[in-house]
Structure 1
Amino acid sequence: MTTQDHDDRALDSAPFGGRPGGALVVGGSGAIGRAVAVRLARLGSDVTVTYAGSSAAAGETAELVVASGRACDVERLDMGDPGQAAEAVARAAEQRGGLHTVVLAASPTNFQSWVSTLPPEQYAEQLRVDSGGSFAVVSAALPHLRESRGSVVVVSTVANRRFVLRDVLSSGPKAANEALVRAVAAEEGRFGVRANAVGVGILDEGMTQVLLGTGDVRPEQLEVAVSRVPLGFLGKAADIAAAVGFLASEDARYVTGQWIDVDGGYGM
């Protein structure tokens, strides 16, 4: 057996490098968070998922994780409360016997707005909850990730490469989260901790459907956006989860401080 064969078998049998603990998926009640939780479970990790508003949706995610053969716990987390973030991380680490992966997949509810009409107070609140909450989770998780030499994966947006009109409530905080990814990668690499991001393109589920339902995005606008996607079709939450799973796994052990846009080429 060659060294390469041995390495390949090790990856197949231990996708997370044999690290102790499990995964925490923040935002596990949404389409992307659910797909991520199931993907990590299928890779062999027990999971804790958080939710902000829908315990029923988070419970459905947990059922899918369990059906995949792994354990799953559910925790409520208000991203606007740093104390809750610290408590949720601590409980997840206790439930899982440590943490080897933290995925930030929460998408605090927002609507489309022109910069010229957006109240500064609303933008500040979005920053506080989305980027401030993400920082609180990562800050609380770092001691556990140092112990396991684990990783953080932030679910971001392709709008930080190709701006989508009226999308500043999403892209602004996500840009701050991408800066946090680079900070963690640069500063925590000495402890073996990695941090990366996945940019979400236009999906046919999740927030896209929410915005269509509220009228913030009209069907004809979505058609125009899809016409600008080189691959010519909308993505799925499972496409995002596949990239997250790669970045969290031992396959990406030498990847840090990066982002992968899963967008069908839209960001080019």
Structure 2
Amino acid sequence: MSGSAAEAFGGRAGGALVVGGSGAIGGAVAERLAEMGADITLTYSGSAERAHALADRLGGRGRVARAARMDMGDADQVRAVVEDAVDKHGGLHTVVLAASPTNHQVHVSRLDPARYAEQLAVDSGGTFRVVSAVLPTLRERRGSVVVVSTVANRRFVLRDVLSSGPKAANEALVRAVAAEEGRFGVRANAVGVGILDEGMTQVLVDSGDIRPGDLEHALTRIPLRSYGKARDIAAAVAFLASDDARYVTGQWIDVDGGYGL
């Protein structure tokens, strides 16, 4: 799926905003959208070096690519970053939310309510702040939003409620946007992430939250008997963002090797 933005995005003017573009999935998404001809603003929270390096790399391929710091908990900063992206790109036809705070693994019985509330505020609340800020430009461009979620909302993963809880709320928001904004030509969809061998999985392995034995057991529950890659998620996001999916809204695609079956 390469070529001009006119072909890939139905001739819509503007660019793409990738929230969490410094992460493994967000970075792969930014690469894929740029290959399709989109100019990109990618955001980061703490990984400035990775974000700017990716923007420089995409810029070297002839795309307009920018990196911007965004704290999803700061409504004013979210709106400022969105407004700047709209100004620089002449609008936004695609918004991808691929950012997620580290979701340490813990049983519900041992989870402090304040910790859960904090995760909801950052992950789900942050997603809402971004969606709220981008809706005006998406209406103008008849654009789309894609939210990166988790397969754990189809097949629950033990100790994963800090991830699956907020993302269940995000998926409800996707359905709300699809139902209410479709009359303006706005589409909203989600991609459920299965078990990858990079990105957040590696962070949790390094922290000891996930043990090697956990991954080996999980592999036996994946029909394709392999872990996914960030590029697998990016491929699904790219399809949903493209004009090939112009009649698809309010849906989610689980990219999980069959784990959710």
TM-score range, shorter chain: over 0.9
Give matches, 1:59-138, under 5 Å: 59-138=52-131
The aligned amino acid for 2:66 is D
Q: Distance in 1 between matches of 2:26 and 2:5?
A: 24
User: Can you list the C-alpha shifts for 1:45-89, whole angstroms capped at 9, x where unaligned?
Assistant: 000000000100111221332244311111101111111111111
Q: CA deviation at 1:166?
A: 0.4
Q: CA deviation at 1:209?
A: 0.2
**Are the counterparts in 2 of residues 11 and 17 from structure 1 also a CA contact under 8 Å?**
no
Instruction: Indicate the RMSD between aligned Cα atoms, in angstroms.
Output: 1.3
Q: Distance in 2 between matches of 1:201 and 1:60?
A: 27
Secondary structure of the residue aligned to 1:153 is: strand
Of residues 202, 205, 218, the one that matches 2:211 is 218
The aligned amino acid for 2:158 is L
Q: Distance in 2 between matches of 1:101 and 1:24?
A: 6
**Residues 101 and 265 (structure 1 numbering): CA distance in 2 closer, same or farther, change over 3 Å?**
same
Secondary structure of the residue aligned to 1:185 is: helix
* Percent sequence identity over aligned pairs: 71
**Are the counterparts in 2 of residues 49 and 62 from structure 1 also a CA contact under 8 Å?**
yes
Name the residue aligned to 1:171.
164
Secondary structure of the residue aligned to 1:145 is: helix
Deviates more, 1:186-195 or 1:106-115: 106-115
Q: Distance in 2 between matches of 1:254 and 1:23?
A: 19
Name the residue aligned to 2:259.
266
Deviates more, 1:232-241 or 1:51-60: 51-60
**Are the counterparts in 2 of residues 198 and 262 from structure 1 also a CA contact under 8 Å?**
yes
Secondary structure of the residue aligned to 2:17 is: strand
**Are the counterparts in 2 of residues 11 and 250 from structure 1 also a CA contact under 8 Å?**
no
Q: Are residues 1:236 and 2:229 paired?
A: yes
**Are the counterparts in 2 of residues 20 and 97 from structure 1 also a CA contact under 8 Å?**
yes
Secondary structure of the residue aligned to 2:156 is: coil
User: Can you list the C-alpha shifts for 1:177-206, whole angstroms capped at 9, x where unaligned?
Assistant: 000000000000000000000000000100
**Are the counterparts in 2 of residues 38 and 64 from structure 1 also a CA contact under 8 Å?**
no
Give matches, 1:6-85, under 5 Å: 14-85=7-78
Query: Number of residues paired by the alignment?
Result: 259
Structure 2 stretches lacking a partner, 5+ long: none
Q: CA deviation at 1:29?
A: 0.5
**Are the counterparts in 1 of residues 4 and 36 from structure 2 also a CA contact under 8 Å?**
no
The aligned amino acid for 1:154 is V
Name the residue aligned to 1:7.
none
**Are the counterparts in 2 of residues 79 and 85 from structure 1 also a CA contact under 8 Å?**
yes
Name the residue aligned to 1:181.
174
Q: Distance in 2 between matches of 1:14 and 1:200?
A: 27
**Are the counterparts in 1 of residues 5 and 38 from structure 2 also a CA contact under 8 Å?**
no
Give matches, 1:195-210, under 5 Å: 195-210=188-203
The aligned amino acid for 2:129 is A
- Structure 1 length-normalised TM: 0.94
Q: Distance in 1 between matches of 2:6 and 2:250?
A: 26
Name the residue aligned to 1:249.
242
The aligned amino acid for 1:258 is Q
**Are the counterparts in 1 of residues 86 and 92 from structure 2 also a CA contact under 8 Å?**
yes
**Are the counterparts in 2 of residues 21 and 98 from structure 1 also a CA contact under 8 Å?**
yes
**Are the counterparts in 1 of residues 193 and 256 from structure 2 also a CA contact under 8 Å?**
yes
Q: Distance in 2 between matches of 1:196 and 1:65?
A: 25
Of residues 132, 142, 147, the one that matches 1:154 is 147
Q: Distance in 1 between matches of 2:57 and 2:237?
A: 18
